[in-house]
C-alpha cells in the first residue's frame, strides 16, 4: 500500500514541476522547455539516486536528502504558481510516506 502511495506522490510531484514550467516561462518555447525539461530532469535525478533500483547506491541518509529536496522542489513549484494548499498537502503526504518507508526499512535492517 505504501509503495503505491509513494508512486502516486512521485507522479504528482512530476506533474507539479511540469505545471510550474508550463506556467512560468515567457513565450511558448520557454514554456515547453521548462514544462518538459523540469520533470525530465527530476525523473533523471530520481532514477540515478532515489529510485528503489537507483543507478547509484547512496547511503540511506543521502537518499532521504535527495527525496526531501526532490519533493521540496515540487512543493515550491505548487506554492509559487498560486497553489499553496496543494503544496502543503503534497508536503504532508510526502513526509508521512517517506517517514513510514524509512522507519520500515530501519526496522528490517
pLDDT tens digits for 88-100?
999 999 999 999 9
Enter the pTM of the model.
Answer: 0.91
Q: Cell 541518509, residue?
A: 61
> Is 48 in contact with 57 (CB distance < 8 Å)?
no
pLDDT tens digits for 19-53?
999 999 889 999 999 999 999 999 999 999 999 89
pLDDT of residue 46: 95
CA dihedral 69, 70, 72, 74 (to 10 degrees): 160
| 14 pLDDT tier (thresholds 50, 70, 90) | very high
Specify the higher pLDDT residue, 109 or 36: 36
Amino acid at each position: 500500500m505504501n509503495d503505491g502511495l509513494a508512486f502516486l506522490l512521485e507522479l504528482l510531484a512530476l506533474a507539479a514541476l511540469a505545471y510550474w514550467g508550463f506556467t512560468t516561462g515567457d513565450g511558448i518555447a520557454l514554456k515547453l522547455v521548462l514544462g518538459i525539461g523540469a520533470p525530465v530532469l527530476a525523473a533523471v535525478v530520481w532514477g540515478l539516486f532515489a529510485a528503489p533500483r537507483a543507478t547509484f547506491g547512496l547511503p540511506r541518509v543521502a537518499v532521504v536528502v535527495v527525496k526531501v529536496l526532490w519533493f521540496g522542489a515540487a512543493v515550491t513549484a505548487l506554492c509559487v504558481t498560486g497553489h499553496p494548499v496543494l503544496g502543503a498537502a503534497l508536503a504532508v503526504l510526502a513526509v508521512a510516506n517517506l517517514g513510514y518507508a524509512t522507519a520500515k526499512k530501519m526496522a528490517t535492517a
